[in-house]
Amino acid sequence: MAILAACASWSLITAAARDGRPEGVLLAVLAVAAGYAAGRIGGALLPVAAPCAAALAGLALTVAVPRLAPGPAITAPPGHAGATAALLALSAGAACCGAWAGGVAAVRTAARLLAAGIAVTAAVLGSVVGCVACVAVLLCSLAVGRVRRRGAAIAGLGLGAGAVTGLTWAVPGGLLPDGLAVALEGQLTSRRVRLWADALDLLREDVALGVGPGRFGALSPTAAQAPSPDGRPHSAVWQQAAEEGVVGVVLLAAAFGWVLYALWRSPRPTPVVLTAGVSLTGLAAIAAVGNALSFTAVPLGAGLLAGLATARPFADEPVPGVPPPGGGVRARAGRRAR
């Protein structure tokens, strides 16, 4: 709560200093807080059903609202492809969390089939990134069943997210070899790289405060020349850097770091925790190169998944590979009776 309050407060401070519009940041913070609270409650009451219901809700939202924004298509903000991929990855992660939380083999199989169906849906919708992310989450979820020490795995997830973020900073800064820079620009598109370069120039003008929330589109030459400008640099990190300065970037990193710390301290079984961590790290990677966090459904889903993975269920959960308490005693008693 302290980190979320700091994010909201800093957006208000920078908006007041630069005549910005902090409503988008405040809405995202509120969505994360609401999703996290709902996840903690649902995970405590229904540790198996709540993740599966969240996965179905995310899938239904993606299919029913392809652009993930209200209103006619002409007014929907561009960049919805990243938001679609992120929401599908979160949905697949929730389904896999439900699979590991289930104590019955049939329930686990059904939940994993749901995750596979989400990946197939991503392919049908034409979301290549979403399909790859869902498959990666499903495969990693199957692999983490053998992991017993979660600390090293969570540290690896943090390093992976940091590597992707560092790469987005190295591209406009000219810190990469020419061949690699050209290859990445071909994948990211030259317009996106120019947007990041504009964000770097705006950051240099005021490293501490930035230009103010919501003002990137008005000050970026590349954004102003776009046929349908959306006022965003297509990167959550660069948007924070340009509009809220270095402090905004630090707060964004602190929020993600706190999520990883909460997962490390979570009372849930390690496979549930690591599955959620993989899904949230995938979201971080997608948000580093796209507008995913600009859509309210995505931060809401991220908070919901984090809450589900850190909730303390009222009933004891089965730990994968470990027999339930008293199981061996009951089995021996049954053999003696026979």
DSSP string across 17-58: HHT---HHHHHHHHHHHHHHHHHHHHHHH-TTHHHHHHHHHH
- Note the pLDDT of residue 164: 94
Given pLDDT bands bounded at 50, 70 and 90, which one contains residue 324?
A: very low
Q: For residues 235 and 290, is the Cβ–Cβ distance under 8 A?
A: yes
Given pLDDT bands bounded at 50, 70 and 90, which one contains residue 76?
A: very low
- Note the pLDDT of residue 265: 95
Instruction: Find where tokens 């994010």 sit.
Output: 7
Which stretch of 30-39, 44-53, 99-108 has the lowest confidence by average pLDDT?
99-108
DSSP string over 219-231: H-HHHHTSSS--S
In 3D space, the residue among 115, 118, 164 whose CA is nearest the CA of residue 286 turns out to be 164
> What global pTM score does this model have?
0.89
Given pLDDT bands bounded at 50, 70 and 90, which one contains residue 179?
A: confident
Q: Is 102 helix (H, G, I), strand (E, B) or coil?
A: coil
Is the pLDDT at 72 greater than 60? The verdict is no
Strand residues in the chain grouped as ranges (E): none
Is the pLDDT at 69 greater than 70? The verdict is no
Q: Residue 11 is encoded by which pair of tokens?
A: 């957006």
In 3D space, the residue among 152, 116, 108 whose CA is nearest the CA of residue 318 turns out to be 108
Q: What does the alpha-carbon distance between residue 170 and residue 68 come to, in Å, rounded to a whole number? A: 30
**Mean predicted confidence (pLDDT) in 316-329:** 51
In 3D space, the residue among 35, 39, 34, 33 whose CA is nearest the CA of residue 4 turns out to be 33
**Percent of the chain's residues with pLDDT above 90:** 68
Q: For residues 62 and 91, is the Cβ–Cβ distance under 8 A?
A: yes
Which stretch of 23-37, 203-217, 308-322 has the lowest confidence by average pLDDT?
308-322
- Note the pLDDT of residue 209: 92
Look over the chain and give the mean of its residue pLDDT values, rounded to a whole number: 87
From the CB of residue 37, how many other CB atoms can be counted at a distance below 10 Å?
13
Instruction: Find where tokens 């980190």 sit.
Output: 3
- Note the pLDDT of residue 174: 77
Q: Which helix (H) or strand (E) holds 189?
A: none
Q: How far is CA 304 from CA 164, 184, 215, 234, in A?
A: 24, 33, 29, 24
109-148 per-position pLDDT tens digit: 999 999 999 999 999 988 899 999 999 999 999 999 888 8
Given pLDDT bands bounded at 50, 70 and 90, which one contains residue 318?
A: low
- Note the pLDDT of residue 73: 38
- Note the pLDDT of residue 333: 40
Q: For residues 68 and 61, is the Cβ–Cβ distance under 8 A?
A: yes
Which stretch of 28-32, 203-207, 250-254 has the lowest confidence by average pLDDT?
203-207
- Note the pLDDT of residue 227: 63
Q: What does the alpha-carbon distance between residue 105 and residue 111 come to, in Å, rounded to a whole number? A: 10
Q: What does the alpha-carbon distance between residue 39 and residue 305 come to, in Å, rounded to a whole number? A: 6
Highest mean predicted confidence (pLDDT) among 15-29, 68-82, 177-191, 228-242: 15-29
Is the pLDDT at 338 greater than 70? The verdict is no
In 3D space, the residue among 108, 129, 109, 110 whose CA is nearest the CA of residue 119 turns out to be 129
- Note the pLDDT of residue 224: 78
In 3D space, the residue among 81, 82, 53 whose CA is nearest the CA of residue 236 turns out to be 82
- Note the pLDDT of residue 270: 94
220-279 per-position pLDDT tens digit: 888 878 766 677 898 999 999 999 999 999 999 999 999 999 999 999 999 999 999 999
Q: What are the two backbone dihedrals, phi and then psi, of residue 322, each rounded to the nearest 5 degrees?
A: -120, 125
Q: What is the dihedral angle through the alpha carbons of 173, 174, 179, 183, rounded to the nearest 10 degrees?
A: 30
**Mean predicted confidence (pLDDT) in 191-209:** 92
**Mean predicted confidence (pLDDT) in 278-282:** 97
